[in-house]
Structure 1
Amino acid sequence: MSETRRAGDPELTTYRDVQLSPDFSELRRRFRRFVFPMTGLFLAWYFLYVLLADYAHGFMSTRVFGNINVALLLGFGQFLSTFAITMIYVRWADKQIDPAAERMRTLIEGEDK
């Protein structure tokens, strides 16, 4: 096997070079601008549920219909919001993160697609 390597060979591109590149910085900025606020919103929603369950027994035990109370609906809402956030993230990443990451990979590996 030949020891000759092309300029775009991943082995010649160091992690540090990629980390310092403007494209990578932009990719990280996009990721943070979505993930941090979404995580904050979800944690606020989750802790609100926990606090209500601990301190607002009367409110949480309020029957909505039949044996279904507010606590059960809010608990179900936790599951729904988890799945909704996951679906939103996947769609967002498909449009905002994956194309940019693919362009970076192509540049790093020196592929012509």
Structure 2
Amino acid sequence: MDPAPPHDSAHTAEQPDYIQVQSSQEFAELRRAHRSFAFPLTIAFVSWYTLYVLLSNYAGDFMGKQVVGNINVALVFGLLQFLSTFAIAWWYSRHASAKLDPRAQAIKSRLEGKS
């Protein structure tokens, strides 16, 4: 059996770094920025996907309507699922670069003692 790891005396009287970071205002703002973007968008996308599935199952006449040539509503909605997935990924990437990454980097720098 391995002996217990040495105890860092710098953290005996105070909380470990991760607890301090988690309880900080900076981290709360980072989480809020992430959640305020991710949760509504996730709900919207799941709703949109559920609508597609429900229409496919229960509105066959509507989904089978020809739009142009052999292209029907179901195919258009299916392609829009892919398009919306890529759009959300792109939008999230921009959001993360602009709002999340700078905050996370500031927390990391402070934690590493660089600021």
Shorter-normalised TM-score: what interval? 0.7 to 0.9
Q: 1:98 maps to what in 2?
A: 101
Q: Given the superposition, is the C-alpha separation of residues 13 and 109 from structure 1 closer, same or farther in structure 2, using an over 3 Å criterion?
A: farther
The separation in 2 between residues aligned to 1:13 and 1:92, in whole angstroms, is 30
Corresponding residue SS for 1:71: helix
The separation in 2 between residues aligned to 1:16 and 1:99, in whole angstroms, is 21
Question: What percent identity do the matched residue pairs reach?
Answer: 51
Following superposition, the deviation at residue 69 of structure 1 comes to 0.2
Greater relative contact order structure (CA < 8 Å, 6+ sep): 1
The separation in 2 between residues aligned to 1:31 and 1:14, in whole angstroms, is 21
**Structure 1: 4+ residue segments shifted above 3 A:** none
Q: 1:58 maps to what in 2?
A: 61
Mind listing any 5+ residue stretches in structure 2 that lack a counterpart? Answer: 1-9
Name the Cα RMSD after superposition: 1.6
Mind listing any 5+ residue stretches in structure 1 that lack a counterpart? Answer: 1-6
Residue 16 of structure 1 is aligned with which of 19, 23, 29? 19
Q: 1:3 maps to what in 2?
A: none
Q: Given the superposition, is the C-alpha separation of residues 13 and 107 from structure 1 closer, same or farther in structure 2, using an over 3 Å criterion?
A: farther
Q: 2:4 maps to what in 1?
A: none
- Size of the aligned set, in residue pairs, is 103
Residue 90 of structure 2 is aligned with which of 58, 63, 87? 87
Residue 75 of structure 2 is aligned with which of 72, 75, 86? 72
TM-score using structure 2 length? 0.85
TM-score using structure 1 length? 0.86
Corresponding residue SS for 1:110: coil
